[in-house]
Amino acid sequence: MKHLLKFLLVLMLCLPNLAAQQAKQKIALLLYNGKVFTADAHFTTAEAVAVDGERIVAVGTSSELRGKYQAAKEIDLQGKLVTPGFNDAHVHFLRGALSLLNVVLTDTKSLAEAQSKIAEKVKTTKAGEWINGRGWDHTIWKQNFPTRKDLDQIAPNNPVFLVRVDGHVGWANSAALKLAKIDRNTKNPEGGEIERDANGEATGILKETAQGLVAGLIAQPNQAQMQKGLELALDMARRYGITSVQDNSGYETTKLYRDFLRADKLTVRVSEWQDFEDSVERLKAQRAEFEGFKDDKNRLKLTALKGYVDGTLGSRTAAMLAPFSDDAGNSGIPRRSQEELTKMIVERSNADFQIALHAIGDGANRMALNGFAEANKTKFPCNLAGTTPTVKKVSGYDACVENRRNRIEHAQVISPSDFKRFEELGVIASMQPSHAISDKRWAGERLGEYRVLGAYAWHLMQSYRVHVPFGTDFPVESINPYITLYAAVSRQDAEGIPVGGWQPQEKLTIQEAIRCHTFESAYAEFAENVKGEIKAGMLADLVVHSKDLLTIELKEILTTETVYTIFNGKIIYEKK
């Protein structure tokens, strides 16, 4: 009897706890005891996140969520910061990774160092076979463009073609020029230039569209190389907390992405871009084919048409309103006339395509804005899928211009009178802060003291209520999003130079920078209703960081690492 009474007493004490456990809602994952930066407009923070399936089910305090939910897996964050997964709004995801399989000249400090790397590749390459790669930057070497002769010395028996770090200039040797039939009589293609010496001979430098004369001869990567490249890209994304990419690798790339998706190996959400240069008929045919595959649009979709208006500042091919301050008589290379560009924009906009135009120089940005202004004069639907209808009263334009969400990629140099036009026309300024800390070495000389005030101006752009998503432009820059955040808030290089930051008036707060790399990027792809913030109902794409980005010294951002990457509700990376 004594034992029975003791058992009943224990049972009575346990029943309330047992009932409470049974009353709890079962979920897959609970993160608690942390600092959850939701990335909403008010920069709200919380302590815990509950996840079930592919969605976030609740955000709140640790005690509240632990009392309400029973998770199959719980993670005690021990105070660590959680943010939405990074969304790289401008990246050459697959193509960038493929470039790492060739000769990589990124960060070579001299021509001699670059030649040494190329010579190593020559040793393992048969005579007559192509050698290609990318990443060289003559401004780091502190010299003018290299020439074909610099390559002929080390690779006389192989055609060589190496793309500059910005992707807008190619460097070829004599063997490659011969195969491309480029000589003193070859005319410049539209939107490009074959650089020549004093005797009229090609130097080996091919600017903008002229690169295609040689690049078109190089065989495309085979299936095995493509798969290896994508595996490399996905591995980098997982390690850096990147859960979404807006990719400029081309429509054909979606076939490989689809294979990975169906094998449950695609661990980023992909918004792929089509080619602005293609005809409307071809673009529509691609869309129709793509729709037939019935992919999960939260995992793989088509969004913008990517086109080019000009080149880059580093290669002095950006289209400027006035000549470069350090190169009198050179105002860059626009890819086409204003009339032709506007015609193409209007035609594609009328066919309901979002447009994303690469524009670096102030002249190129104005050309793009002029084209968008003309396109906005025509009607556009206010009920696009995935958007919140926005009525925007702008004199002379359709009320739903914001739902076009046309974009200018880079928007690096803007004339003072054109900042407000971005807001008026509903144009997104898709920017990559790491460019500023790479280019600051020579940007002042290129632009002069007046124009540089409108360069890499993400803070000024936001002051006009313009949407500013962040990307990396990998492989032009590192795919590491912590570098993007550091550049946005410090305006300094990794050595902390200059003290106080270059053009410091353009600094953002770390909260603003994170939101640009999450919510604003989602907005740019019509996805702000499903990702980019941490709140109930959103897709469960989260990053746990090794350091509290909101409070640490700026230089510590560069040494912050991803502890967990959570994608679609599953842990896909854990730092060991």
From the list 198, 202, 209, 157, the residue with the least C-alpha distance to 181 is 202
Number of structural domains (the chain) is 1
Residues 6+ apart with CB under 8 A from 301: 270, 271, 272, 295
- Percent above pLDDT 70 for the chain: 92
Asked, for residue 284, whether it belongs to a domain, the answer is no
Gap between the Cα atoms of 366 and 320, Å rounded: 9
519: Cα separation from own chain's centroid: 14
Reported as a single tens digit per residue, the pLDDT across 1-36 is: 666 566 656 556 555 554 555 689 999 999 999 999
pTM metric for this prediction: 0.89
pLDDT band per the 50, 70, 90 thresholds, residue 136: very high
461, 423 contact by CB (below 8 A): no
From the list 492, 480, 482, 475, the residue with the least C-alpha distance to 436 is 492
Q: Is pLDDT larger for residue 396 or for residue 85? A: 85
Using CB atoms within 10 Å of the CB of residue 510, give its burial: 0 to 12 exposed, 13 to 18 middle, 19+ buried.
buried
Q: Which domain holds residue 138?
A: 95-215
pLDDT of residue 390: 45
pLDDT band per the 50, 70, 90 thresholds, residue 386: very low
Q: State phi, psi for 366 to the nearest 5 degrees.
A: -65, -40
571, 564 contact by CB (below 8 A): yes
Structure tokens at 539: 């897709």
Gap between the Cα atoms of 381 and 404, Å rounded: 9
For residue 220, give the DSSP letter.
Answer: P
Asked, for residue 43, whether it belongs to a domain, the answer is no
Mean pLDDT of 279-289: 97
For residue 532, give the DSSP letter.
Answer: S
pLDDT band per the 50, 70, 90 thresholds, residue 399: very low
* Exposure on the CB side of residue 233, measured as CA atoms within 13 A: 32
3-state helix, strand, coil in the chain (%, to 5): 35, 20, 40
CB atoms near residue 490 (< 10 Å): 25
**Residue 176: enclosing H or E segment and its boundaries?**
helix 174-179
Mean pLDDT of 141-151: 94
Asked, for residue 311, whether it belongs to a domain, the answer is no
Distance spanning both ends of the chain, measured CA to CA: 55
Mean pLDDT of 170-189: 94
Mean pLDDT of 100-123: 93
Place of tokens 């010299």: 143
Beta strands in 402-519 (DSSP E): 407-410, 428-430
pLDDT band per the 50, 70, 90 thresholds, residue 392: very low
Structure tokens at 277: 């240069």
What is the layout of strands, in order, in the sheet containing 69-76? 55-60, 48-52, 25-32, 69-76
pLDDT of residue 189: 94
Asked, for residue 193, whether it belongs to a domain, the answer is yes
Reported as a single tens digit per residue, the pLDDT across 252-273 is: 999 999 999 999 999 999 999 9
Asked, for residue 391, whether it belongs to a domain, the answer is no
**Phi-psi group of 526: left, alpha or beta (phi > 0 → left; psi -120 to 50 → alpha; rest → beta):** left
Gap between the Cα atoms of 359 and 408, Å rounded: 6
pLDDT of residue 6: 65
Reported as a single tens digit per residue, the pLDDT across 300-343 is: 999 999 999 999 999 999 999 999 999 999 999 999 999 999 99
85, 95 contact by CB (below 8 A): no
Mean pLDDT of 163-172: 93
Asked, for residue 105, whether it belongs to a domain, the answer is yes
Structure tokens at 527: 């996805």
Asked, for residue 203, whether it belongs to a domain, the answer is yes
Q: Identify the CATH number of the domain in which residue 157 sits.
A: 3.10.310.70
pLDDT of residue 391: 40
Kindly tell me if the per-residue pLDDT of 395 is higher than 50: no
pLDDT band per the 50, 70, 90 thresholds, residue 173: very high
Reported as a single tens digit per residue, the pLDDT across 448-498 is: 999 999 999 999 999 999 999 999 999 999 999 999 999 999 999 999 999
CB atoms near residue 297 (< 10 Å): 16
Q: How far is CA 167 from CA 82, 102, 199, 213, 473, in A?
A: 35, 15, 27, 15, 10
pLDDT band per the 50, 70, 90 thresholds, residue 404: confident
For residue 204, give the DSSP letter.
Answer: E
pLDDT of residue 393: 39
Asked, for residue 167, whether it belongs to a domain, the answer is yes
Beta strands in 227-364 (DSSP E): 242-247, 269-275, 300-308, 354-359
Q: Compute the residue count for the chain.
A: 576
pLDDT of residue 264: 96
Gap between the Cα atoms of 137 and 134, Å rounded: 9
DSSP readout, 66-94? HHHEEEEEEEE-TT-EEEEPEEEEEE-HH
pLDDT of residue 220: 87
81, 550 contact by CB (below 8 A): yes
Average pLDDT over all residues of the chain: 92
